[in-house]
Structure 1
């Protein structure tokens, strides 16, 4: 099903773990696979095969990626556990400092820690604070075949627990942008008519609205789908085509 714009890890194996970690690190740099492939000098199809868990990179490629992301190789090949990682690092620091102290000073640390624990137990528990932000939300304009622009459809409001600098939100329908964007995801759009090569945007193309990657060629452009099942949509001077905005974020429920 084509992605018209309208209204998901465990360690299952080395390839799946690698796939998850590459996507996680790309998200941290706000890069898409096409930009990453260009930066690293890798073939785009090779990068997509890693992301889709169809293949596993050689050790030299893993080392290159680790250096680029500024992480250890284990951060790519092992299952990611941020809570365990943070707890382990904190405990190591505390143990290292405590073991270097003389006995009287260790006793003071223990006494202080007990005092802090007592104070903590006196604190009345309150609900964790969670970000809630309202966004303009367009739903009906993204149905297939409507030919409506998002900006002229009925505007609603949606509240989501994420904070993006976006002008409006629309949902994704279809699988043509998997594995990056899934059916039912909310995408956050910055209104603009100017996009660079490789950026993800929302486009009006012959009356329908799509989320695609913009690829600029010498004499034309293409609307590219990450899912290899779908062919590129060619755009030239004669095309009924309009850029509606840039995708600046994604949220999955």
Structure 2
């Protein structure tokens, strides 16, 4: 078996999901995987570990090679229905076709009803929520803020959620957006995060040059905030995603 081709893995998972009439979210629920992880497999962004490949193979009742090897080239075969249809006389073919069309219509109506019911069921995910906003502008306190729980219709691997106030991170982040934060004490150059800067909490881009480091706003109307030895500075966490009400 050849391992590591993310696109082949993605195509095979999608093929097997289609055969079972499932979607990625249903697969994630069935195997207790994170939806974002399954979604990354299906979109060829990441490749599952070998233990996850084994679980997938058992779930779909296929061999691991059916997941990791190219299965797109299928041998064309005549279906049993087509074989019988070809043996019928034209009048009987017409009757058979009428019956098949009726069956297809009933099937489509049933699927429509199922989809309508599914659309009404929205799965919610719970997160720790700081109701005091991080600033995309002039700064807000985050320490000693009351923590609540919030439910959102997205599954994100994050430690907590906070709202944004201000416009300094536009056009990517807007006033009122909710951002998902993974706590961290070490972020790389160019990462968007939430930072404690002289006692206030800001959402900014961390820029680390050879000569200096500073917090950068995506909105050019705002000046950079230099990080010096005198600055009371602490990394709160990395922004890993955002949620915006439609």
Bigger mean CA deviation after superposition, 213-222 or 140-149:
140-149
Deviation of 1:122 after TM superposition, in Å, equals 4.7
Matches within 5 A, 1:6-85: none
> Unmatched 5+ residue regions in structure 2?
1-42, 46-81, 87-92
Q: Aligned to 1:140, what secondary structure does the other structure show?
A: coil
- Note the alpha carbon deviations across 1:67-119, whole angstroms, 9 max, x for none: xxxxxxxxxxxxxxxxxxxxxxxxxxxxxxxxxx9xx6797777545413213
Q: Which residue of 1 aligns with 2:213?
A: 221
Report the structure number with the largest CA radius of gyration.
2
Q: Aligned to 1:130, what secondary structure does the other structure show?
A: coil
- Residues 184 and 146 of structure 1: CA distance in aligned 2, closer, same or farther (over 3 Å): closer
Pick the aligned partner of 1:240 from 222, 232, 235. 232
How many aligned residue pairs are there? 153
Work out whether 1:209 is the aligned partner of 2:197: no
Pick the aligned partner of 2:187 from 179, 182, 195. 195
- Note the alpha carbon deviations across 1:6-44, whole angstroms, 9 max, x for none: xxxxxxxxxxxxxxxxxxxxxx999xxxxxxxxxxxxxx
Residues 141, 153 of structure 1: 8 Å contact kept: no
CA RMSD of aligned residues (A): 3.1
Residues 202, 246 of structure 1: 8 Å contact kept: yes
Residues 132, 162 of structure 2: 8 Å contact kept: no
- In 1, the alpha carbon distance for the partners of 2:167 and 2:133 equals 19
Work out whether 1:157 is the aligned partner of 2:149: yes
Residues 179, 226 of structure 1: 8 Å contact kept: yes
Deviation of 1:173 after TM superposition, in Å, equals 0.4
TM-score by length of structure 1 reads 0.53
Q: Which residue of 2 aligns with 1:78?
A: none
Deviation of 1:139 after TM superposition, in Å, equals 1.5
- Residues 204 and 120 of structure 1: CA distance in aligned 2, closer, same or farther (over 3 Å): same
Q: Which residue of 1 aligns with 2:244?
A: 252
Residues 147, 206 of structure 1: 8 Å contact kept: no
Greater length-normalized contact order (CA 8 Å, ≥ 6 residues apart): 1
- In 2, the alpha carbon distance for the partners of 1:218 and 1:247 equals 24
- Note the alpha carbon deviations across 1:209-237, whole angstroms, 9 max, x for none: 11001111113211111101001111122
- In 1, the alpha carbon distance for the partners of 2:213 and 2:244 equals 29
Work out whether 1:137 is the aligned partner of 2:137: no
Q: Aligned to 2:104, what secondary structure does the other structure show?
A: helix
Matches within 5 A, 1:117-136: 117-122=105-110, 125=114, 126-128=117-119, 129-136=121-128
- In 2, the alpha carbon distance for the partners of 1:249 and 1:199 equals 12
Q: Which residue of 1 aligns with 2:6?
A: none
- In 1, the alpha carbon distance for the partners of 2:147 and 2:163 equals 13
Residues 219, 236 of structure 1: 8 Å contact kept: no
- In 2, the alpha carbon distance for the partners of 1:240 and 1:29 equals 42
Deviation of 1:142 after TM superposition, in Å, equals 4.3
- In 1, the alpha carbon distance for the partners of 2:128 and 2:215 equals 25
